[in-house]
């Protein structure tokens, strides 16, 4: 019987690639990077046959002309390669992904599918640091966390549970890892609502999100300038509480929260924690283990790494 054998949650930030030499908190930065290496070793030890990578989209693979709540890559997967992340075709398992999609739809989670999916650092940051050198195919699952209206958090939990059920229903003896990429708390200088942009920067970003299909690089330089000019906003108390709930197997309590609740507690970047809820639900909210937490204002983000290993849970 197939089964989910490991869950991993890890923050992402392209500034880790492009601004390492500008880090003031070098001990914190190295702590986070070392934890990524430890999480990779946990993946190696779990011996997965395939890894489902759950993450957000940052308007390099999806745009406002069409942005589903959940999208599963069931065929070719192309990485954008922004800011030093992997680029080009990725190793995938279309047969597994297509069966997974069928099971999810039949279970009541209507994921969109893409036979030629473009992903960005919402998934490729994990590929770069957690899957480097591993001969394991990936199946990307992209969650809309930045273009309102966002999927409800309880629907994300249901998605995770349905992933576990779908895997267990497969006849092959497969070992599956579920990796969540994103979070923890941070605040991006993006419009609070794309439908009502305020000022030149927000107008520019909405135009980039609407018209970027096929030419996202045309908008990328100014986008990066807007992000780099942002004031770091990290909610360290929330981050530590969230990781504590992961360790206690209590992340299910976030299912009752709204998008407004999450933004108030963790900033608009905290909406990426939906990926962690999907991952934890796929592991039945088993207690996990935090490998590192590093508040990194240089990267605008509270950076965390954690694992949920059901084999290590009494």
DSSP, collapsed to helix, strand or coil, labels residue 141 as strand
Residue 44 — very low, low, confident or very high, per pLDDT cuts 50/70/90? very high
Structure tokens that stand for 230 in this block: 């942002």
Q: What ranges do the domains of the chain cover?
A: 3-187+236-312, 189-229
Residue 276 — very low, low, confident or very high, per pLDDT cuts 50/70/90? very high
Looking at residue 217, its pLDDT comes to 85
313 pLDDT higher than 70: no
DSSP, collapsed to helix, strand or coil, labels residue 244 as helix
* Residue 20 to residue 169: CA distance in whole angstroms: 44
Report yes or no: 194 and 148 within 8 Å, Cβ to Cβ: yes
Looking at residue 83, its pLDDT comes to 86
Report yes or no: 237 and 302 within 8 Å, Cβ to Cβ: no
Give the residue ranges of DSSP H helices in 138-273.
153-169, 199-211, 216-228, 236-247, 259-266
Report yes or no: 29 and 294 within 8 Å, Cβ to Cβ: yes
Looking at residue 227, its pLDDT comes to 85
Q: Which homologous superfamily is 3-187+236-312 in? A: LigB-like (3.40.830.10)
Token pair 């790494």 is at which residue? 305
The pLDDT tens digits for 75-133 are: 999 999 888 999 999 999 999 999 999 999 999 999 999 999 999 999 999 999 999 99
Structure tokens that stand for 179 in this block: 């990796």
Q: Across residues 158-162, what is the average pLDDT?
A: 98
Mode of pairing for the β-strands spanning 289-296 and 301-308: antiparallel
Which long-range contacts link 64-67 to residues 24+ away (Cβ below 8 Å)? 64/147, 64/194, 64/206, 64/209, 64/210, 65/210, 65/213, 67/144, 67/147
Summary mean pLDDT of the chain: 94
Q: Across residues 27-51, what is the average pLDDT?
A: 97
The pLDDT tens digits for 288-304 are: 999 999 999 999 999 99
**Cα separations in angstroms, 5 against 13, 132, 223, 311:** 26, 19, 38, 8
Q: Across residues 254-271, what is the average pLDDT?
A: 97
Looking at residue 49, its pLDDT comes to 97
């Amino acid at each position: 019987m197939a089964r989910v054998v490991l869950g991993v949650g890890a923050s992402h930030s392209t500034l880790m690639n492009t601004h390492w030499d500008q880090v003031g908190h070098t001990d914190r930065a190295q702590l986070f990077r070392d934890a990524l290496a430890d999480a990779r070793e946990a993946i190696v030890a779990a011996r997965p046959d395939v890894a489902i990578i759950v993450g957000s989209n940052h308007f390099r693979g999806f745009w406002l002309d069409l942005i589903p709540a959940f999208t599963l890559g069931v065929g070719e997967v192309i990485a954008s390669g922004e800011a030093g992340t992997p680029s080009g075709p990725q190793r995938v398992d279309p047969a597994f992904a297509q069966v997974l999609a069928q099971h999810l739809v039949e279970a009541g989670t209507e994921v969109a599918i893409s036979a030629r999916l473009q992903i960005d650092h919402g998934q490729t940051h994990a590929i770069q640091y957690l899957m480097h050198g591993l001969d394991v195919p990936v199946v990307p699952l992209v969650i809309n966390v930045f273009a309102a209206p966002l999927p409800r958090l309880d629907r994300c939990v249901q998605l995770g549970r349905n992933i576990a059920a779908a895997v267990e229903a497969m006849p092959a003896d497969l070992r599956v890892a579920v990796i969540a990429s994103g979070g923890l708390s941070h605040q991006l200088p993006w419009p609070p609502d794309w439908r009502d942009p305020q000022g030149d920067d927000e107008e520019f970003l909405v135009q980039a999100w609407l018209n970027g299909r096929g030419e996202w690089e045309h908008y990328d330089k100014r986008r990066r300038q807007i992000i780099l000019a942002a004031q770091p906003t990290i909610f360290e108390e929330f981050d530590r509480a969230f990781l504590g709930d992961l360790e206690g197997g209590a992340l299910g309590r976030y299912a009752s929260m709204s998008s407004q609740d999450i933004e108030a507690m963790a900033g608009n970047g905290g909406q990426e924690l939906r990926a962690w809820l999907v991952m934890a639900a796929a592991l039945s909210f088993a207690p996990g283990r935090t490998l590192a937490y590093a508040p990194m204002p240089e990267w605008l983000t509270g950076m965390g790494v954690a694992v949920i290993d059901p084999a290590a849970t009494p």
